[in-house]
Amino acid sequence: MTALATGSNRRSRQRLKAMSTVVRTLGTWVLPWRLVVTPSPEPGSAPLVDWLEEQLGSRPLVGVKKTAPRANNKPVLVLLDADGGVLGYAKVGINPLTQRLVKAETKALGRIAARSIPGLRTPELLASGEWNGSHVLVQGALRPTGDQSWAPEELIPRFAAFAGSAGLATTPLRSSPYLERLRRRLRKHRAYVPGALGAELERVVTAAGDVPLTLGSWHGDWTPWNMGRDGDDLLLWDLERVKSGVPAGFDAVHYTLQSEIVRKGTPPLAAARSLLEQDVTLAASSLQASRRLLARLYLIEIGTRYCVDRQAEAGGALSDLGSWLLPALAGPLREEALHG
């Protein structure tokens, strides 16, 4: 747990305390490097492995999945059988943000499964409930097999299928319910969101308010590392950001930007500018009348999320919007480019 204590601010200490409480009450852990930890639970506190055994019908061994610093970090437990096979994963909410995200993913797993999206599989919801004041989600393991590469022409119809899985609706940007919700979020969280984001949104509305905007669903964090392949099926996990009523194609733009920055090593500012200045290849699925408008709205959306989640306080990557996202948005805005 030492690596989680690098922040010195109050929020970091609170997260560490909450995560330490989880560790103290887990019972027996088998960590990825095979270290066995047997903490003593606090009086009156049942170990999480007891809760997991009750839900799953057998007592799993538990490994800890370590991730990079982010405001939405939470304990993600790898559940193993006696032979070391992966049974599934458990996520534990430890603060208001992660509690909300774990609950959101619990609901999303059921909703997405019910939509039966062709060519796409998501984890099975195995169990969910409250444990010691924390919401816990247990989901099955998806098992990628064979070649894990995806060609753009394979991804495009899957982005489109997910976007349309709960229906599509088209309305001018100026009168869209999405615009009103985004404005409300910016107002509600103005203490954390730079005014430049709201100003940019209004600049876009002035320039392209009459452009038709198609609204649908998005995964919210569709990246190469949140997906896998099993034959022709795309396996998709981490559904804690799923939303409907957002610009269709956001997933394609997010995938493109994150791939450029993380996989290809493109500097964030250059990647964001490229996103705004060029057609987004993976979004070229006729979901929107204007793909450049889509890209600009996406940057405002993702910048708002980073600020609302207070990623900068957690040391999250890309959390310094002033170093890349805001300069990219501040570039020239050609009205005609947003209309086609």
Q: Are residues 50 and 76 in the same domain?
A: yes
**How many structural domains are present in the chain?**
2
Q: Are residues 173 and 122 in the same domain?
A: no
Q: Are residues 120 and 7 in the same domain?
A: yes
Q: Are 86 and 100 spatial neighbours (Cβ–Cβ below 8 Å)?
A: no
- For the residues of 240-298, what is the DSSP string, one character each? TT-EEEEETTHHHHHHHHHIIIIIS---HHHHHHHHHHS--GGGTTT--S-HHHHHHHH
Residue 145 lies in a domain: no
Average pLDDT over residues 123-131: 97
- Domain holding 125: CATH number? 3.30.200.20
Tokens for 183? 């404005």
Residue 146 lies in a domain: no
Confidence check: pLDDT of 38 > 80: no
Q: What is the C-alpha to C-alpha distance for residues 136 and 90, in angstroms, rounded to an integer?
A: 7
Of the ranges 62-71, 263-272, 310-319, which one carries the lowest mean pLDDT score? Answer: 62-71
Residue 83 lies in a domain: yes
**What is the model's pLDDT at position 253?**
94
Q: What is the C-alpha to C-alpha distance for residues 308 and 314, in angstroms, rounded to an integer?
A: 12
Amino acid in the structure at residue 275 = L
Q: Are residues 173 and 262 in the same domain?
A: yes
Average pLDDT over residues 61-87: 86
A 10 A CB-CB count for 334 gives 11
Mark which of 120, 140, 160 sits at the end of a domain: 140
**What is the model's pLDDT at position 197?**
98
Mark which of 113, 140, 167 sits at the end of a domain: 140
Residue 77 lies in a domain: yes
Q: Which domain holds residue 52?
A: 2-140
Confidence check: pLDDT of 98 > 90: yes
Confidence check: pLDDT of 41 > 80: no
What predicted TM-score, i.e. pTM, was given to this entire model? 0.85
Q: What is the C-alpha to C-alpha distance for residues 74 and 77, in angstroms, rounded to an integer?
A: 9
Q: Are residues 299 and 195 in the same domain?
A: yes
Q: Are 305 and 321 spatial neighbours (Cβ–Cβ below 8 Å)?
A: no
**What is the model's pLDDT at position 32?**
37
Of the ranges 59-63, 69-73, 112-116, which one carries the lowest mean pLDDT score? Answer: 69-73
Confidence check: pLDDT of 2 > 50: no
Residue 33 lies in a domain: yes
Average pLDDT over residues 195-215: 96
Strand partners, 90: 77, 138
Q: Are residues 184 and 288 in the same domain?
A: yes
Confidence check: pLDDT of 13 > 80: no
Closest listed residue to residue 288, CA positions, set 210, 215, 222: 215
Mark which of 114, 140, 166 sits at the end of a domain: 140
